[in-house]
Amino acid sequence: MSKSRVAVVTGTSSGIGRAVVERLAADGCRVLAVDANPEGEAIAQAAGAAFFQADLTDGQQCARVIATAVERFGNVDILVNNAGIQHVADIENFPEAKWRTIIDLMLTAPFLLTQAAWPYMRQGGWGRIVNIASIHASVASPGKSAYVSAKHGLIGLTRTAALEGGELGITANAVCPAYVRTPLVERQIADQARLNRMDESEVVEKIMLSGAAVKRLIEPGEVAGVVAYLASDQASAVTGADWSIDLGWTAR
């Protein structure tokens, strides 16, 4: 980074979010790591970041996240919307409460966080919004109606923010990985095995990597590297884009 930027990253206690915090802090950013899990505090501190515990399904707590970053660091330059959960069930049996939680966390919260951070980015004439979407922002899979809907919606939010922010020095991009080696993906294996009536040992090969040209899971640090670029000065001409890290899924 050309200067010490202030970054807010959500969903940071493991996986992609943790890797992004570690990478941005190593690049010289002052980082506020945000997670509902209090265990995320030790992880943030180890990376040299500050920590804020929040339930992002609560709109008031979303506003408090940005206010805390400003109180602590004086500004918000970079927002990485990463927090997410997953629930696997067919449409007929998908619980309404779980649907609402997923949409609130993975679509409404990114909007509210973006809205709260926007005035600070506009005032500074510089901002980077990076939304962690998924390959499921482009394609669908059975049993993931809420997750797929939220990720598709996140692309729409990204593109709208890019258009509105262009003249203000604010860029907005989405990163769309296929299956990443994270605890979230590991928890999906049993769910997918049950939904598809197969052994757990078959899930990675026959479901997660069936459409991939590169037959392996993605490492969180690979995603963090793309996020770091999009959050940099060098990416000032990149906005409204969906960055696929999909092992060749969409090449077909």
Active-site annotation holder among 120, 147, 179, 229: 147
- 147 annotated active-site: yes
**In angstroms, what CA-CA distances link 134 with 37, 57, 141?**
22, 20, 12
Convert the chain into a string of H (helix), E (strand) and C (coil).
CCCCCEEEEECCCCHHHHHHHHHHHHCCCEEEEEECCCCHHHHHHHHCCEEEECCCCCHHHHHHHHHHHHHHHCCCCEEEECCCCCCCECHHHCCHHHHHHHHHHHHHHHHHHHHHHHHHHHHHCCEEEEEECCHHHCCCCCCEHHHHHHHHHHHHHHHHHHHHHHHHCEEEEEEEECCECCHHHHHHHHHHHHHHCCCHHHHHHHHHCCCCCCCCCECHHHHHHHHHHHCCHHHCCCCCCEEEECCCHHHC
Cite the active site residues.
147
